Chains A and B, each alone.
Chain A
């Protein structure tokens, strides 16, 4: 059958319900994604209170403006990941939050989690996992530091002991490779 993204229609229904002000849909949304949003925020911030704040901000923001999610662009989980990431990075970049975080775990000693080994549960996340597994270790490690630890490319360069330009290139190449596998129609548009 025609290639279709699993969950696209169902996620669209959920977001339509949110747009219609259905508070049962808000409960469904929270039940399904709170563990992910909170887990991502806590992994990045290493601070449970801050992770709770980010989680609340993310769900309230989507409830306020559900039209921000476009089912054609990606998964709802990915969209919530983007919202969570941005808010967590904002917190990390504030100096006091950074100090709290660094006092708990120095950047270069943060618990490593191999992205490629993370269990996949949906079709999309399975493809992401496969794409990550195909990346050179250097690119995967750069993405890990930037995405999950909220590092800037300068911090990535520091941690890995490489020039800043090289760090940025690794981030682009890694992200681009994943994008090509997720969205093959884009592969001829990168040049």
Chain B
């Protein structure tokens, strides 16, 4: 950058600036160096670059250490005391739900250690898969959505358009690549999808998400597929956590509300997949773990019929956590493990709960 290196303390040398970037200068030099940086933008940029690099050295070299258990709540209390959180929204948009869950999965995978990638995952339909295989599977489907939205992800060469074959192609290609490649591609695919749908909403409003695109399970609205992708990202993030002995992590409440309420509409389809049909009968779902304890009425004869609970007679009421409801949908809870309360037609309620995993293959 062509800076001279004099010894006048008011005109620091490159060595001085490097020491400053490391916070290793003498405190007595502080005023002179900051004054110099304020007046020489090129030097300030150089110092900031070195400071960023010093931060990366810390990020790579500092040992992780579990903080005391009480520190998290204290941090939260202090933080919200300085800036209040935003008010809870009734439910996040499908775009936000997708963005949040995909980004959380990417960050989880980014934190894995080399040995973690070969850990086996436990869902029965993924027998023999490792965490690496699972990451390739999620990437395969996320990049497929990008394909169907019209913007293929650079570097992703899979051509199959069905889940099984595309996953197999992606897993085969990634077997000889470093695991980080799967994360990079997954993140790139998620960003492509996010950018496209965000632009759609910005230009056409949320109605633009009702456009239908191709999908391996049949054409579906972008809105629905965003939620499916988010649901898959969350479910598989928990699969990874289980494989590594880490605690499960629920989505934020606003996301959970959107996923649970949307999924209620598919309960008739879940029953139909089990050969059960109950036209004209209505079940009310209560989710007490969500604020403010919302409820939805589902007409079991009409797919997509869920609506906020109203002043109508229902045949049965089911009370369960939204978390268990959603984990049941992905078959991560067996029906006998689900804790739920029922009133009204208890047989109907039990049949509905038992059918929840019927569309888990989606």
Residues of A within 8 A of B (CB): 1-2, 4, 6-11, 13-14, 17, 20-28, 30-32, 34-36, 38-40, 42-43, 48, 51-52, 55-56, 59-60, 63-64, 73-75, 77-82, 84-86, 89, 93, 113, 115, 118-126, 128-129, 132, 143, 146-148, 150-154, 156, 165, 168-169, 171-172, 175-176, 178-179, 182-183, 186, 189-191
Contacts and interface: CB of A to CB of B under 8 A. Distances in A.
Nearest to B53: A179
A147 B57 contact: yes
Interface string B40-71: 00000010111111111111111111111001
Interface in B182-230: 183-185, 187-188, 190-191, 194
Interface hub of A34, A156, A179 (most chain B Cβ within 10 A):
A179
B263 interface: no
Contacts of A34: 67, 71-72, 75
A186 B47 CA distance: 12
A113 B48 CA distance: 26
B292 interface: no
Contacts of B85: 21-23, 26
B125 interface: no
A75 B1 contact: no
A53 B50 CA distance: 26
A28 to B, nearest CB: 7
Given A17-B100, A152-B25, A153-B24, A179 B50 contact: yes
A6 B187 contact: yes
Contacts of A52: 67-68, 71
Given A132-B57, A165-B15, A176 B191 contact: no
B184 A4 contact: yes
- Residue among B48, B82, B103 with the highest chain A CB neighbour number at 10 A: B103
A115 B57 CA distance: 8
A82 B20 CA distance: 12
Nearest to B48: A73
Contact of A154 (B26, B50, B61, B184): B26
A103 B154 CA distance: 56
Contact of A1 (B54, B63, B111, B188): B188
A128 B341 CA distance: 54
A4 B190 CA distance: 14
Contacts of A48: 68
Nearest to B180: A123
Nearest to B154: A1
A63 to B, nearest CB: 4
Contact of B71 (A4, A17, A55): A55
Contact of A39 (B64, B104, B110, B154): B64
Given A35-B66, A153-B24, A179-B49, A63 B19 contact: no
B14 interface: yes
B86 interface: yes
Interface of B: 1-2, 13-19, 21-27, 46, 48-68, 71-72, 74-76, 78-80, 82-86, 99-100, 102-104, 106-107, 110-114, 153-156, 180, 183-185, 187-188, 190-191, 194, 249, 252-254
B103 A14 contact: yes
Contacts of B82: 60, 63-64
B65 A38 contact: yes
Instruction: Across the A-B interface, give the 9 residue pairs with the lowest CB-CB distance, nearest first.
Output: A1-B155, A21-B86, A81-B58, A24-B252, A172-B18, A39-B65, A82-B55, A125-B60, A78-B55
Contacts of B24: 146-147, 151-153, 156, 171
B75 A9 contact: no
Nearest to B15: A168
9 contacts: A4-B187, A21-B84, A39-B62, A43-B63, A60-B79, A147-B61, A150-B23, A152-B26, A176-B18
A128 B71 contact: no
A89 B100 CA distance: 35
A89 B23 contact: yes
B59 A128 contact: yes
B49 A183 contact: yes
A138 to B, nearest CB: 15
A175 B2 contact: no
A96 to B, nearest CB: 15
Nearest to A16: B99
Contacts of A152: 19, 24-27
A182 B59 contact: no
B191 A9 contact: yes
Quick one: which of B62, B63, B106, B187 has the most chain A CB within 10 A?
A: B62
Contacts of B100: 13, 17
A153 B24 CA distance: 5
Nearest to B58: A81
Contacts of A171: 15, 18-19, 22, 24
Contacts of B1: 189-191
Contact of B54 (A25, A77, A82, A191): A82
Nearest to A115: B61
Given A1-B154, A59-B79, A182 B56 contact: yes
